Amino acid sequence: MQLPKFSQHLHERLQEQRPQLVSRADAVLFYLSLGGLFVFLYDLGFAHSVAAEQVLTYFYGAYMLCMMLVLVLRLFLLNQAGVPRSWILAEYVLLFFAACGVVLAFLPAQTVLPGTLLGRYVEQDLVILAVLLYVFLIELSRRSLDFYRLRYNPALLFIASFILLIVLGTGLLLLPRATTNGISPLDALFTASSAVCVTGLITVDTATAFTTFGKVVILVLIQLGGLGIMTFTSFLALFFQRSSSFQNQLFMQGLINEESIGNTMRTIGNIVWITFLVEFLGACFLYACIGPAEIPRLHDRIGFVLFHSISAFCNAGFSTLSAGLYDPGFRFNYGFQLVIIALILIGGIGFPIIFNLYRYLRATGRNRWQQLYHRERLQYTPRIVNVNTKLVLLTSAVLTVAGTVLYFGMEYNSTLREHSGMGKVVAALFGGVTPRTAGFNTVDMAQLTMPLVLIYLLLMWIGASPGSTGGGIKTTTFALALLNIFSIARGKERLELFGRHIPAKSVQQAFAVMMLSALVIGLAILLIKFFDPDIPLTQVAFETFSAYSTVGLSLGVTGSLSAGSKLVVIVTMFLGRVGTFTLIAGVVTKINDLAYRYPSENIIIT
């Protein structure tokens, strides 16, 4: 008679303690995955003896077994709570991989490839890595939601996320197996900063200084830096949690420039999916443009096109070729260059523009379909394309055409001499697009004529568009400032564009961004000249503009910079990526709208 009462009491206690038990299981899995990642990175980053390899093998088996037991416990608790199985499908997939990891750990592996990225046994390592990353990403996505409940300025958290990513990247690049002959901490910090800030400036040759593991680390840093780590973790939270609170959406709204708070998390998901889709399609087109003649081995070709597709879309400018795209095998591959140009332009135009154009094309296509196939009258299409989209597209088109024409005219008898026919046009187009924060080069940068170098300074300073993976002061900033000058000269009291009034706040912010960029660039040039007085001023200025605008082009002096100058470039790249205005806005306390107004008084300007 006592057993049913005891069972009932136990069941009631389990019902009461279930939320705490699930929370503790989540915490155990998170710390298990975090510890396992550290062990796995140690396994990848350092050489081991045969005995150590065997110890690690059995450790992974015991580790997977512990993780599988915790997963079974959590699944039991979730099923008891009546959670729909469709909501916890990820848990079942994870349990399957964990079981595979246990089996592979205690069975002798047959395929041994000691020279590969993952070291010992390919099957076991892949499964273990999949489980570790899967668990870690799930638990990280759950904990990322806690950051949005903190009372910190979103701008400061945005900046802190980049600092954390740079520090982690530096540590990974310092691992012995990440480089071929070792690397100094300063060069590792420089490379990690350049990758996270999607700049492309390098102090060591990416092609020869880093192993496959090191190049994968750089590629991951580029991807996370281009998207923004907070955008990526928010996407994971949306993907795994299937829901988000109002506070989460409010937190991310300002970071992705979303007007409607209800569409914030959907926009984040679209950003990530579009990024992966465009990079995958870009890699496919790049693969079609090369063959065994350029890169003999299949897996090397796949890795090559993936690296360059991600680097191009993120406007990073990193290349696994020592001479960049000026390499003899790619210098005249104009199809390859056209794909890179397309990826650069798509990545630099900005996600808000892509979404706005998609909505316009969808509405227009639907109307045309109804008219042609259903014999309906053409429906009214509301005003979808906004002023921001029109301004970005117009400014980008003008800058691209002007840059191409100027490059063609000034370099016709210089760097374009080795090209012929349409090759000159493609090379000129590439030269007109790449200074807009892309950083790739298909010509010898040291041979550029001085007038074009000065034009490059302007193009690099302007950069890409807002909400994109590129840097610079942004196309809208430059356009608004220029249009406001003409508006003032004509005696107009306000700026009007495409039948709309532009708020004074936008114009003021544009001039503030330009002023801050000039101050940072000027100070950086001064400091680099102080640390390296022997480097010509033109090369120093080019390097500084390239760093601040996260371009990555160089006249060949990056590797010869002193330690002090490298630190200056690192800080300049960081400020250019996160935005000096964003940094100040995060540090300075904001003041609410004032309820009073002082008497006005004019200041003499001219």
- How does pLDDT run across 154-201, given as a tens digit for each residue? 667 778 778 888 998 999 899 888 888 889 999 999 999 999 988 889
What Å distances lie between residue 93 and 69, 99, 508, CA to CA? 14, 10, 52
> Span 594-601, mean pLDDT?
72
CA distance 577 to 570: 11
Please tell me the predicted confidence (pLDDT) of residue 6. 41
Q: What φ, ψ does residue 500 adopt, rounded to 5°?
A: -130, 150
Cβ partners under 8 Å of residue 339, min gap 6: 282, 285, 286, 289
Identify the band that residue 232 occupies on the pLDDT scale cut at 50, 70 and 90.
low
- How many angstroms separate the Cα of 232 from the Cα of each of 86, 204, 271? 23, 29, 9
The 3-state DSSP class for residue 404 equals helix
Q: What is the mean pLDDT of the chain?
A: 79
502, containing H or E segment: strand 500-502
In a 13 Å sphere around the CA of 205, the CA atoms on its Cβ side amount to: 9
CB 159 within 8 A of CB 578: yes
Assess whether pLDDT exceeds 80 at residue 296: yes
The whole-number average pLDDT for the span 562-585 is 86
Contact call for residues 225 and 162 (beta carbons, < 8 A): yes
- Confidence band (pLDDT; 50, 70, 90) for 60? confident
Residue 470 and residue 198: Cα distance in Å, rounded?
8
Q: What is the pLDDT of residues 532-547, one digit of tens each?
A: 999 999 999 999 999 9
DSSP 3-state assignment of 592? coil
State the Cα–Cα distance between residues 544 and 203, nearest whole angstrom.
Answer: 14
With vertex at residue 436, the alpha carbon angle to CA 231 and CA 155, rounded to the nearest 5 degrees, is 30
pLDDT bin (cut points 50, 70, 90) of residue 246 is: very low
Q: How far apart are the first and last CA of the chain?
A: 99
pLDDT the model gives residue 429: 94
Tokens 């508006």 correspond to 487
Task: List pLDDT tens digits, range 149-167.
Answer: 555 566 677 787 788 889 9
Coil, helix or strand for 528? Answer: helix
pLDDT higher at 374 or 358: 358
Of 293 and 94, which is predicted with more confidence? Answer: 293
Highest mean pLDDT, choosing among 36-45, 97-106, 241-250, 538-547: 538-547
Distances (CA, A) of 86 to 79, 83, 90, 494: 11, 8, 9, 55
Distance CA 575, CA 550 (A): 10
Over pLDDT 90: what percentage of the chain?
27
Report yes or no: 474 and 464 within 8 Å, Cβ to Cβ. yes
> pLDDT: is 298 or 523 the higher one?
523
The residues, any chain, with a CB within 8 Å of residue 208's CB and separated by 6 or more, are 180, 322
Amino acid at 123: E
Residue 385 neighbours by CB distance under 10 Å = 16
Tokens 């790449």 identify what position? 434
Helix or strand holding residue 314 (H, E)? none
Residue 182: what pLDDT?
A: 86
Find the range with the poorest average confidence among 153-157, 258-262, 286-290, 410-414.
Answer: 258-262
Question: pLDDT digits over 80-123, tens only?
Answer: 666 666 556 666 776 777 777 667 666 554 444 444 434 444 44
Residues 436-452 have pLDDT tens digits of 888 888 888 888 889 99
Contact 467, 256 (CB under 8 A): yes
Tell me the two tokens of residue 474.
Answer: 């942004």
pLDDT per residue as tens digits for the range 341-350: 999 999 888 8
Least confident of 57-71, 193-207, 238-252, 433-447: 238-252
Residue 460's nearest CA partner among 469, 468, 471 is 471
Residue 258 has pLDDT above 50, yes or no: yes
User: Tell me, what's the pLDDT at 341?
Assistant: 94
Q: Could you count the other beta carbons within 10 Å of the beta carbon of residue 252? A: 23
Q: Which long-range contacts (CB under 8 A, 24 or more apart) does 128-134 make?
A: 128/36, 128/40, 128/60, 128/64, 128/101, 129/40, 130/97, 131/64, 131/67, 131/94, 131/97, 131/98, 131/101, 132/33, 132/36, 132/37, 132/40, 133/37, 134/90, 134/93, 134/94, 134/97
C-alpha to C-alpha distance for 45 and 581, rounded to whole angstroms: 38
pTM above 0.75, yes or no: yes
The Cα–Cα gap between 539 and 408 comes to: 22
CB atoms inside a 10 Å sphere around CB 65:
16
Structure tokens belonging to residue 511: 């001039």
Does 265 or 50 have the greater pLDDT score? 50
- Dmax over CA atoms of the chain, in Å, equals 101
Q: What is the pLDDT of residue 56?
A: 77
Lowest mean pLDDT of 72-76, 170-174, 195-199, 220-224, name the range. Answer: 72-76
Query: In percent, how much of the chain has pLDDT > 70?
Result: 75
CA Rg value for the chain = 27
The pLDDT of residue 113 is 40
Q: What is the mean pLDDT of residues 454-459?
A: 93
How would DSSP label each residue in 431-500? HHHTTTTT---SS-GGG--HHHHHHHHHHHHH-S-TTSS--SS-HHHHHHHHHHHHHHHTT-SSEEETTE
Q: When comparing pLDDT for 389 and 16, which is higher?
A: 389
Confidence of residue 4 (pLDDT cuts 50, 70, 90): low
Q: What does residue 497 show for φ and ψ, rounded to 5 degrees?
A: -150, 125
Tokens of residue 306, six digits: 């993936």
Reference 126, options 51, 44, 49; nearest CA is: 44
β-pairing, 495-497 vs 500-502, is antiparallel
Coil, helix or strand for 332?
Answer: coil
Higher pLDDT, 434 or 44: 434
Q: At what angle do helices 2-45 and 122-147 cross, to 10 degrees?
A: 110
Q: What is the pLDDT of residue 28?
A: 79
